[in-house]
Amino acid sequence: MDKRIRTMLLVLTACFTLLFLQLNNLQVRQAAALNASQYQPPLPGVTDPYAVTRRDIVSADGHILANSGPNNPHDPFGPKRIYPDGPLFAEVTGYYDVVDANSTGLEYQYNQYLIKHQASANSLRGLLTEQAGTDTVATTVLYSLQKVAEQALAPYSQGAVVAIDPRNGNILAMYGKPNFDPNQMAGHDPTKVAAYFKSLNPNSGASPLVNAATARTYNPGSTMKVVTTSAIFDHQPSIETQIFPKLTALTLPETNLKLHNFGGEKCGGTLALALAISCDTAYGKIGLELGADALSQEAAAFGFNQKPPIDIPSSEVATPCFPPLENTAYNVSDCPSGSGVAIGPSNLPGVAYSAIGQENVTESALQNALIVAGIANNGIIMAPHLMSAIVNNQGQIVTTYRPHTYRVATSQDTADGVRQLMRGVVTGGTASGLFPPGLNIAAKTGTAETGTANCSSTWLVAFGPAGPTDVPKIAVAAVVPAQSAIGCSETGAIIAGPIVAKVIDAYLLGAK
């Protein structure tokens, strides 16, 4: 008798165990797939998607970046999506167009949380009962710093600023121009929405709908010397001790072409001086000594020819491009390829120009911020991200972002060497006077000729604090392309420099 009872007890225990495991399987492991199934019935109370109040997107310092207005029973499209600051966070939130069932930015990326959905189970009760809810997306972006970036770019019609915490990849600010008002895209009058969309020239690469911070690319100019300098330490350290001849122009091998310094200046000397004053002839010579292979390997290590993994739709992120090597398969569809573009022994001028960020080297403000963030973080580039946490309507955290490495770009020794040289750009080079001395900032200016009336795209990248024992807390890149508001003789230090300085000063002096 006792044996039969024990056997029955074991059988029942096994059945309950299997039942519990299956509940976990269905409610947790397979929840996303089952919710996405075409056979999934509507969730309780979710019969009309237009009647759902979409939850908020909020900044790291508590400001609402996107929310939904009150439900209007007479509005066939339900609660209207509202962006309290209009264009200020357009590069971050994107827009939610209920009329055409379209969205971009974080609105698209985290749509599954913002709409009503099966709530995540945090207890046994949650496993055994159907619960529907909406979640808030908390971001890493600081409203206060985004305002500083907006004000710093105010004099210009085009440009972008990206600020990153190099320790964890948090995007602290991401602002660009031209931009658009997501409120106009979220309207409920189909005629007005269509007219506004058309006014943005959506089929043009110059459309304000193109994310200025992540999807617009430019020649990086001399900011590329950060990568080239890293290549010296990683591939040919003997170059570090060279004394470069003082030249106004470098004669390029196998041609009658000359690589000229900006403004026809004469420069040379040590590597520290060459970087500090941004000597193109010295760095053109460095590029030729390193060779195409070493430059290409270093560029790839820092993320060129690979799309950065930020959490917005991939279509809104540009791939940074470095020219292909001669006689090498090149399968990066987003980057230019073909005759006359590859660099190597038969295109040595291209090697020299690539080393100074010209030729066919292109990148976004996001990518350039990631490069200096990698130098700031001992050679490790953390994956950039905008989402900090997902919070349900009971105030419970559903999930939080876990920082992780994107790329190990270089060694700590190389990063330390480049950091020291970049400090010289601020203390006695092209970025002199931009930052308060006590902040210990490392920086690099860039002035990239565009080929249009000899005008330039102006850059500055920087991070800090960057003293020998400091742990850098912020890395920033700003770009202002050629436009009518600036003259063709202006440099990165003059145009982009003050923009970066305002953002870094605001962050570090604000004790963040």
**Number of CB atoms found within 10 A of residue 344's CB:** 18
Helices and strands in the chain, H and E counts: 16, 21
CA 141 to chain centre: 12
512 pLDDT above the threshold of 50: no
84 pLDDT above the threshold of 60: yes
Residue-level pLDDT at 490: 77
Residue-level pLDDT at 3: 67
Residue-level pLDDT at 176: 97
DSSP letter string, 47-95: S-GGG-----EE-TTS-EEEEE----TT-TT-SPEE-TTGGGGHHHH--
Closest C-alpha among 309, 298, 300, 463 to residue 383? 309
pLDDT tens, residue by residue, 16-60? 666 655 655 555 555 545 444 444 444 444 445 556 688 999 999
| Cα–Cα distance measured from residue 135 to residue 390, given in angstroms and rounded to the nearest whole number | 6
Q: Which of 80-84, 273-277, 449-453 has the lowest mean pLDDT?
A: 449-453
Average pLDDT over residues 471-499: 89
Map tokens 């020998």 to a residue. 468
Residue 77 tokens, joined: 């499209």
Map tokens 């998607």 to a residue. 49
Element (H, E) at 5: helix 2-24
Residue-level pLDDT at 306: 96
| Cα–Cα distance measured from residue 486 to residue 447, given in angstroms and rounded to the nearest whole number | 13
pLDDT tens, residue by residue, 281-335? 999 999 999 999 999 999 999 999 999 999 999 999 999 999 999 988 888 888 8
| Cα–Cα distance measured from residue 367 to residue 215, given in angstroms and rounded to the nearest whole number | 10
Residue-level pLDDT at 440: 95
pLDDT tens, residue by residue, 422-468? 999 999 999 999 999 889 999 999 987 755 555 778 999 999 999 99
477 pLDDT above the threshold of 50: yes
pLDDT tens, residue by residue, 173-227? 999 999 999 999 999 999 999 999 999 999 998 999 999 999 999 999 999 999 9
339 pLDDT above the threshold of 80: no
Residue 150 tokens, joined: 């907006």
Residue 509 tokens, joined: 């002096």
Average pLDDT over residues 239-249: 96
Selected residue with higher pLDDT from 214 and 493:
214
Q: Are 278 and 260 in contact (CB under 8 A)?
A: no
Residue-level pLDDT at 75: 80
| Cα–Cα distance measured from residue 387 to residue 139, given in angstroms and rounded to the nearest whole number | 4
Highest mean pLDDT among 46-60, 125-139, 389-403, 407-421: 407-421
Residue-level pLDDT at 9: 67
Angle at 499 between CA 493 and CA 504, to 5 degrees: 105
CA atoms within 13 A on the CB side of 413: 6
Average pLDDT over residues 81-91: 97
112 pLDDT above the threshold of 70: yes
Q: Are 282 and 266 in contact (CB under 8 A)?
A: no
**Pairing assessment for the beta strands 117-118 and 81-82 based on DSSP bridges:** unpaired
DSSP letter string, 313-331: -GGGSPPPB-PPBTTS---
Residue-level pLDDT at 42: 47
Residue-level pLDDT at 47: 41
pLDDT tens, residue by residue, 126-159? 544 446 688 999 999 999 999 999 999 999 999 9
Q: How far apart are the first and last CA of the chain?
A: 72
Residue 84 tokens, joined: 């309290």
Q: What's the order of all strands across the beta sheet hosting 57-58?
A: 81-82, 64-68, 57-58, 135-139, 387-392, 397-400
Helix axis angle, 280-301 to 225-235, nearest 10°: 80
Q: Which residues contact 237 (CB under 8 A, 6 or more apart)?
A: none
Residue-level pLDDT at 38: 41
- The whole-chain average pLDDT of the chain stands at 88
12 pLDDT above the threshold of 70: no
Percentage of residues in the chain having pLDDT higher than 70: 85
Percentage of residues in the chain having pLDDT higher than 90: 71
Closest C-alpha among 16, 21, 483, 439 to residue 212? 483
Q: Is the pTM of this model over 0.85?
A: yes
Q: How far is the CA of 333 from the CAs of 317, 318, 321, 324, 336, in angstroms?
A: 14, 11, 10, 12, 8
**Would you place residue 90 in the very low, low, confident or very high pLDDT band (cuts 50, 70, 90)?**
very high
